[in-house]
Structure 1
């Protein structure tokens, strides 16, 4: 709940750019000869509509050497082995999420009342309770600035806490998803994504699965199409122009784009770069990549850190999100790169966070 409080107090919100292995939930193997990787889909299995098989295999996870935008938490790179799985071809759409809500009556985190007694346990002792008029259901929305900004580290210049913002009202209570049924659903907290997965008999991908799917055989490449950022405008929905002041609309969209608006990668997956950030099931732990890199043998089907850890947010319990969003720009986060990753608290929702699901064929 820490981030919700920060947003409520300041009107804004920060997305932050293992101490032990999860030994009981992972398998170690020297190579694919020892461990028989699931490369082809199970026989006599028809995947749900809108899903595609992602072949399993070994790959090097993390930032490639030539990536000048790589952040420390994308390093060191390390080899992992991942079994194949079925994955949504696109991010979950408003239409799909609406069907889930109509069938279950589910209310997202952004639509629920805020419990201060629960929230205060996750913030520093002595934090004052905000006014009841502020402690209202809502979410984080983006606001373009009126002029160029000098300090891109001050995210409070373009994020605001908006009461009444949620998946049905992406920019606030006066907005609507009408006509945007094929856009990715947003303002989705981790709990919301899990609830959808349970209803659909799916699950969220691990970070390693997500990266395997996004890389799609692009060995030692920064982007799924190669190493050239010149192709970004035609390959992904990102911020073109001067962030967060002027979006030139060069890629045709200033906010979310309908899913599938840009070319798919070699796995047939759309929007694995840009559009909206996507939840994974892994805890964000700043020491986890280092631990995997120190292992003498590749880890099979890594499940992420055993527990969360972020020295920049010691009170937070965060999960890894992947893929970047329509707000990513070379001057700001450049997180449309395959290895890019960010940390977000479980109850955080925002105008640029969505998800996609995977299925094991069971």
Structure 2
């Protein structure tokens, strides 16, 4: 289901996020470090060329999304459906608010009343989270924001080039090592520390999301492309996208497979505050994941690129 976006005047459109410029380039797209899972489709590494583009320096925040909602009256799919997925340690509500939990991932709760305004459930709000990334937004919700703002979701090729910050082949936006600058102790990314999913030692300072300008930006000026929250991309998901692209040589501006229906599964990039090596090391430049376009949860947001 694609929500209908209310008609608003052009003067109401306002996208105030600082822009980072990504220069035209050819880069090696994919996992050249052997970190990914075969089912994530991060191989083969293949050359991709892109024209220069501008991208949001940060994820879209709660404050940014609130301006969109105030201008349009838009209701997210989580609000329409009446529930969304909340990590169990972030849940704020009563037992009656829990609608269920998937047997394969019991750390996720289906929570009545969870949405972008209530990220932990009906007992939470975003009053003090204006500079945190908006979450509980589906791909369809992100696309609706883009239509209002006259922006686009990035292709996953654009997303990966922007996240790499010019460090071709690097594991992370700052290089190959997870620790602090120049090998010093410390954290440069918001992910899980401890024993997943029961104990987070919060060594990086955050149980769930962090403000979008936490840690340091990469060399292009982008903040927290890995960790913190997953980010929706424009592309339709397929495991064999890279294998098909490699057969074409250097691919210019790849946009992924063609969507055959409105329900086509979409790409997510960057990992989140729940990533941990024991089950998910997707807080990397090359990491890929996916979900249905109407899905929402407490660790997925988005950023946008300028339309041409």
Which TM-score tier does this pair reach, normalised by the shorter chain? 0.7 to 0.9
Residues 1:70 and 1:182: Cα distance change in structure 2 (over 3 Å) = same
Residue 349 (structure 1) aligns with: 296
1:299 matches 2:267: no
Residue 4 (structure 1) aligns with: none
1:95 to 46, 50, 63: 63
SS in structure 1 opposite 2:55?
Answer: strand
Does the CA contact (< 8 Å) of 1:94 and 1:180 recur in 2? yes
Which structure 1 segments of 5+ residues have no match? Answer: 2-46, 114-136, 146-152, 310-315
Residue 287 (structure 1) aligns with: 240
Tell me, in whole angstroms, the C-alpha distance in 1 between the residues paired with 2:296 and 2:17.
27
Q: Whose radius of gyration is greater, 1 or 2?
A: 1
Using the TM superposition, name which of 67-76 and 342-351 deviates more: 67-76
Tell me, in whole angstroms, the C-alpha distance in 2 between the residues paired with 1:262 and 1:154.
35
Spell out the pairing of 1:1-362 with structure 2 (5 A cutoff): 49-64=17-32, 66-72=33-39, 73-113=41-81, 137-144=82-89, 155-231=104-180, 234-295=187-248, 297-307=249-259, 317-360=264-307, 362=308
Tell me, in whole angstroms, the C-alpha distance in 2 between the residues paired with 1:78 and 1:190.
27
Does the CA contact (< 8 Å) of 2:16 and 2:64 recur in 1? no
SS in structure 1 opposite 2:143?
Answer: helix
Tell me, in whole angstroms, the C-alpha distance in 2 between the residues paired with 1:51 and 1:321.
21
Q: Post-superposition shift, 1:222?
A: 1.1
Query: CA deviation digits over 1:279-337, x for unaligned, max 9?
Result: 00000012211101122x2111011112479xxxxxx7310000100001111211111
Q: Post-superposition shift, 1:217?
A: 1.2
Tell me, in whole angstroms, the C-alpha distance in 2 between the residues paired with 1:320 and 1:175.
28
Tell me, in whole angstroms, the C-alpha distance in 1 between the residues paired with 2:21 and 2:178.
28
SS in structure 1 opposite 2:187?
Answer: helix
SS in structure 2 opposite 1:235?
Answer: coil
TM-score normalised over the length of structure 1: 0.73
Residues 1:308 and 1:159: Cα distance change in structure 2 (over 3 Å) = farther
Query: CA deviation digits over 1:52-106, x for unaligned, max 9?
Result: 2111210111111x33345441111111101111111100000010011001000
Residues 1:280 and 1:233: Cα distance change in structure 2 (over 3 Å) = farther
Query: CA deviation digits over 1:115-164, x for unaligned, max 9?
Result: xxxxxxxxxxxxxxxxxxxxxx110000149xxxxxxx964320111011
Which structure 2 segments of 5+ residues have no match? Answer: 2-14, 91-101
TM-score normalised over the length of structure 2: 0.86
Does the CA contact (< 8 Å) of 1:63 and 1:70 recur in 2? no
